[in-house]
């Protein structure tokens, strides 16, 4: 019989993070990731949790109600090129669309910037005779014998997955369904991804690319989830296992396995969700979240409590049109390695030392200096208290590596070189935030900065200063922020149907529009029912993709009220589109008489879950001296010198405790650097709120 434990697990490139909720109380754990078998790190963490309670893993899991898993299995496969051998069936004459992409250069003025090689080589992209027109009318029958020949060719070449994407399958999927059924019969052990099942919408390249991505990672995710489920079952876990998706929702493993591409940004998607819960405690709903771990840095902006979702994402420059949290990710983390480019400039990342061999100071075989090595040399990290003392850091090795690889090539001292590494990292991360704020019409100074990830606390103040942000929130569970966010997500499934027609009362068929909405609601309801979600916990959201007549790109109008969808309130929805277009692009054609075109109809099905609630602590005094644990030399970048700064134990700081910089606040899983111009106060939920003492930095 299951108990009241709930566990959030975020499998990262360097660390695997855990949040354990037990009757309202939370505890956090971190273990090194195991890239060769990510499920091993998951069980290492579960074993550590059970050991801390003095019970076996089996007894611990039998008392666990729910596990929510975020995974980087699919992301890492695409980033490293280690995807499965994949084939593609395409309409005859269109098999090269995957390589031609949109036919435009990503960087208009860089003729040396070439597109990446397609995931499916041309020899595995097989043309199939058969054609539907844009209205879904068959104009050429499907050649079944060509499907059989393709299946035999794939079998001979040991293909592990096949993507099926035919022209206009969004309008009529009969050919795709027939091809998929034949492939599954002839190749029972091959993963088959079908565009009309995954993404039945306009734009052939985006649909093909997304279907191929899904196929390329499908066997990897399926195998991983199967192994994990088997190990959990053997350990007597009888609760619910859910998997985090890129859209900010969770789903059952069997559903996610069929739609593997929905996990391509699985872990980071929980960050904005966790941020919403954190800011609600302060009565606010607009914020920027950052998450800096060992390998990557993610940034997202939320205005009005609604995390932005995009259908125009790219994963390693491959188009991915499934709804995805709008998150900027760069290679910047504690393990980011320093290097000197051809022009003699210092660079940091995106290459990472990862979990193996890790930073030089870990003593696990790393030889190239990293961000963590610089932070140790500058005094921001403790050589004896890292990971609560589990891992002793070798400061001498870090200094030697920095001297060899950075200081000597740049004719600098070791401290100057380490400070340069620190500054470059801060600028890189601030630039990523500019992309999701300033470049999209948002002033970052209007937002609080939520700082998450084990490595972000040492950089947060200087990132904020680069952007003019004067308030930073560092949650007590910052190092496992995304893992905690996973326990606050709802089940979510996104559906889309293309219906390209002028958005006008005399052109749009109301019955067809209503039928498309009903079809998606029914599909969402069936999926949620299969996941055990009761009818009263199901709800639906609606969105439309609209554009002005003659435009190439559409705008997604989200959160359209159900009443306007049911009544098809064309004028009210049109006004929403005009206002959104004006906000995004600085103009609208509302008064010009330009018509609007409907492109896609979208329905999102939600399964509402119970959310854990934090318990506010009683207010204590401002005096933080009880948490002091000594002093150490800390480098001040602005003054270019070391000072003796007090060090505080983060777990001992209580509600209303206040301290002024320069100071270090260190916990088992994270360290926070408070510069001289900043002050820190702890709120009722244990969040460290840093404010610039002179206003905007």
* C-alpha to C-alpha distance for 212 and 264, rounded to whole angstroms: 13
Torsion sign, CA atoms 207, 212, 217, 221: positive
DSSP lists the bridge partners of residue 290 as 299, 451
For 360, residues 6+ apart whose C-beta sits below 8 A from its C-beta are: 366, 367, 368, 369, 370, 373, 394, 397, 398, 400, 401
Q: Mean pLDDT across the stretch 88-103?
A: 92
CB distance 238 to 64 below 8 Å: no
For 321, residues 6+ apart whose C-beta sits below 8 A from its C-beta are: 199, 201, 203, 206, 207, 209, 210, 311, 312, 313
Classified as helix, coil or strand, 89 is strand
Residue whose tokens read 């003659």: 550
What are the tokens at 31? 């273990």
For 617, residues 6+ apart whose C-beta sits below 8 A from its C-beta are: 654, 655, 684, 685, 686
Q: Please write the tens of the pLDDT for every residue from 250-278.
A: 999 999 999 999 998 876 788 888 888 88
Classified as helix, coil or strand, 329 is strand
Cα 65 to Cα 7, 53, 124, 238, 242, distances in angstroms: 8, 17, 44, 8, 11
- On the question of pLDDT at 86 being above 50, the answer is yes
* C-alpha to C-alpha distance for 520 and 338, rounded to whole angstroms: 49
CB distance 470 to 692 below 8 Å: yes
φ/ψ region of 112 (left if φ > 0, alpha if ψ in -120 to 50, else beta) reads: alpha
What are the tokens at 25? 């109380």
For 60, residues 6+ apart whose C-beta sits below 8 A from its C-beta are: 5, 46, 49, 50, 53
* C-alpha to C-alpha distance for 104 and 111, rounded to whole angstroms: 11
pLDDT at 298: 86
φ/ψ region of 655 (left if φ > 0, alpha if ψ in -120 to 50, else beta) reads: beta
DSSP lists the bridge partners of residue 545 as 556, 600
DSSP lists the bridge partners of residue 582 as none
Judging by beta carbons within 10 Å of its beta carbon (0-12, 13-18, 19+), is residue 318 exposed, middle or buried?
buried
* C-alpha to C-alpha distance for 530 and 340, rounded to whole angstroms: 54
Choose between 596 and 611: higher pLDDT: 596
pLDDT at 697: 54
pLDDT at 1: 35
Q: Please write the tens of the pLDDT for every residue from 355-381.
A: 678 899 999 899 999 999 999 999 999
Q: Taking Cα atoms as reference points, which of 682, 693, 694 lies closest to residue 624? A: 682
Indicate the range of 101-105, 239-243, 322-326, 333-337 predicted with least confidence. 101-105
DSSP 404-420: IIIIHHHT--HHHHHHH
CA atoms within 13 A on the CB side of 400: 9
CB distance 278 to 475 below 8 Å: yes
Q: Please write the tens of the pLDDT for every residue from 396-444.
A: 999 999 999 999 999 999 999 999 999 999 999 999 999 888 887 789 9
Please tell me the total number of residues recorded for the chain in this structure. 697
Helix %, strand %, coil % of the chain (to 5): 35, 25, 35
* C-alpha to C-alpha distance for 334 and 296, rounded to whole angstroms: 8
Q: What is the mean pLDDT of the chain?
A: 90
- Angle of helix 144-156 relative to helix 174-186, nearest 10 degrees, comes to 40
Choose between 124 and 312: higher pLDDT: 124
Which domains does the chain possess? 493-607 (3.30.1490), 625-692 (no CATH)
Phi, psi of 110 (to 5 degrees): -120, 95
pLDDT bucket at 2, cuts 50 / 70 / 90:
very low
Q: Please write the tens of the pLDDT for every residue from 135-180.
A: 999 999 999 999 999 999 999 999 999 999 999 999 999 999 999 9
Q: Please write the tens of the pLDDT for every residue from 204-254.
A: 999 999 999 999 999 999 999 998 999 899 988 988 899 999 988 899 999
What are the tokens at 460? 């947060």
Judging by beta carbons within 10 Å of its beta carbon (0-12, 13-18, 19+), is residue 620 exposed, middle or buried?
middle
- On the question of pLDDT at 296 being above 90, the answer is no
The DSSP 8-state label assigned to residue 213 in this structure reads H
DSSP lists the bridge partners of residue 242 as 68
User: What b/e sequence results for 564-588 when a residue is b if at least 16 CB atoms lie within 10 Å of its CB, and e otherwise?
Assistant: bbeeeebeebbebbbebbeeeeeeb
Torsion sign, CA atoms 81, 83, 84, 88: negative
DSSP lists the bridge partners of residue 544 as 557, 601
φ/ψ region of 390 (left if φ > 0, alpha if ψ in -120 to 50, else beta) reads: alpha
CB distance 337 to 351 below 8 Å: yes
pLDDT at 482: 84
Cα 140 to Cα 92, 128, 136, 168, distances in angstroms: 11, 11, 11, 13
Q: Taking Cα atoms as reference points, which of 308, 431, 413 lies closest to residue 641? A: 413
């Amino acid at each position: 019989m299951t108990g009241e434990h709930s566990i959030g697990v975020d499998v990262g490139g360097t660390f695997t993070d855990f949040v354990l909720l037990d009757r309202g109380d939370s505890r956090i754990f971190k273990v090194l990731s195991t890239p060769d078998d990510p499920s091993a790190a998951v069980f290492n963490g579960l074993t550590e949790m059970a050991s801390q309670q003095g019970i076996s893993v089996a007894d611990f899991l039998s008392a666990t109600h729910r596990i929510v898993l975020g995974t980087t299995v699919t992301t890492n496969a695409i980033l490293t090129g280690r995807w499965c051998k994949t084939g593609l069936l395409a309409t005859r004459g269109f098999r090269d669309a995957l390589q031609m992409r949109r036919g435009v250069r990503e960087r208009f003025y860089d003729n040396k910037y070439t597109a990446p090689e397609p995931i499916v080589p041309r020899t595995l992209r097989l043309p199939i005779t058969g054609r539907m027109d844009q209205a879904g009318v068959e104009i050429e029958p499907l050649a079944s014998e060509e499907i059989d020949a393709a299946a035999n060719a794939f079998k001979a070449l040991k293909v592990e997955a096949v993507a099926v994407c035919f022209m206009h399958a969004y309008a009529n999927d009969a050919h795709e369904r027939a091809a998929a059924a034949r492939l599954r019969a002839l190749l029972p052990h091959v993963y088959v991804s079908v565009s009309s099942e995954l993404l039945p919408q306009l734009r052939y390249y985006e649909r093909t690319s997304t279907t191929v991505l899904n196929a390329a990672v499908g066997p990897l995710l399926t195998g991983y989830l199967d192994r994990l489920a088997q190990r959990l079952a053997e350990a007597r876990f009888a609760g619910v296992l859910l998997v985090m998706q890129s859209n900010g929702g969770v789903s059952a493993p069997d559903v996610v396995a069929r739609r593997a591409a929905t996990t391509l940004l699985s872990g980071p998607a929980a960050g904005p969700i966790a941020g919403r819960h954190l800011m609600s405690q302060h009565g606010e709903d607009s914020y920027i979240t950052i998450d800096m771990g060992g390998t990557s840095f993610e940034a997202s902006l939320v205005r009005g409590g609604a995390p932005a979702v995009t259908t125009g994402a790219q994963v390693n420059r491959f188009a991915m049109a499934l709804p995805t949290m709008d998150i900027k990710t760069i290679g910047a983390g504690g393990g980011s390695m320093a290097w000197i480019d051809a022009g003699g400039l210092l660079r940091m990342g995106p290459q990472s030392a990862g979990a193996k061999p890790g930073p030089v100071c870990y003593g696990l075989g790393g030889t190239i200096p990293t961000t963590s090595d610089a932070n140790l040399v500058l005094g921001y990290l403790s050589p004896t208290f890292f990971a609560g003392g589990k891992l002793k850091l070798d400061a001498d090795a870090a200094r030697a590596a920095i001297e060899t690889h950075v200081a000597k090539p740049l004719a600098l001292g070791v401290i100057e070189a380490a400070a340069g590494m620190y500054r470059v990292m801060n600028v890189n991360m601030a630039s990523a935030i500019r992309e999701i704020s300033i470049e999209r019409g948002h002033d970052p100074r209007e937002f609080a900065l939520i700082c998450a990830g084990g490595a972000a606390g040492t950089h947060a103040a200087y990132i904020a200063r680069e952007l003019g942000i004067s308030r930073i929130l560092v949650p007590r569970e910052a190092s496992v922020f995304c893992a905690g966010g996973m326990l606050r997500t709802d089940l979510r499934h996104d559906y889309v149907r293309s219906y390209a027609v002028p958005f006008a009362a005399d052109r749009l068929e109301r019955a067809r529009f209503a039928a498309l909405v009903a079809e998606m609601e029914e599909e969402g309801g069936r999926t949620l029912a299969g996941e055990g979600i009761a009818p009263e916990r199901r709800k639906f959201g609606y969105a439309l993709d609209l554009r002005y007549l003659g435009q190439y790109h559409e705008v997604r109008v989200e959160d359209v009220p159900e009443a306007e969808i049911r009544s098809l309130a064309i004028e009210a929805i049109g006004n929403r589109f005009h206002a959104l277009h004006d906000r995004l692009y600085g103009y609208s054609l509302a008064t010009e008489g330009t018509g609007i075109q409907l492109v896609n109809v979208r329905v999102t099905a939600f399964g509402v879950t119970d959310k854990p609630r934090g318990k506010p602590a009683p207010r204590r005094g401002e005096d933080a001296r009880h948490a002091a644990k000594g002093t150490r030399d800390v480098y001040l970048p602005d003054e270019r010198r070391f000072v003796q700064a007090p060090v505080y134990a983060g777990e001992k700081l209580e509600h209303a405790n206040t301290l002024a910089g320069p100071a270090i606040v260190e916990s088992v899983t994270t360290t926070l650097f408070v510069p001289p111009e900043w002050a820190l106060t702890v709120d009722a939920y244990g969040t460290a709120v840093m404010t610039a003492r002179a206003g905007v930095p």
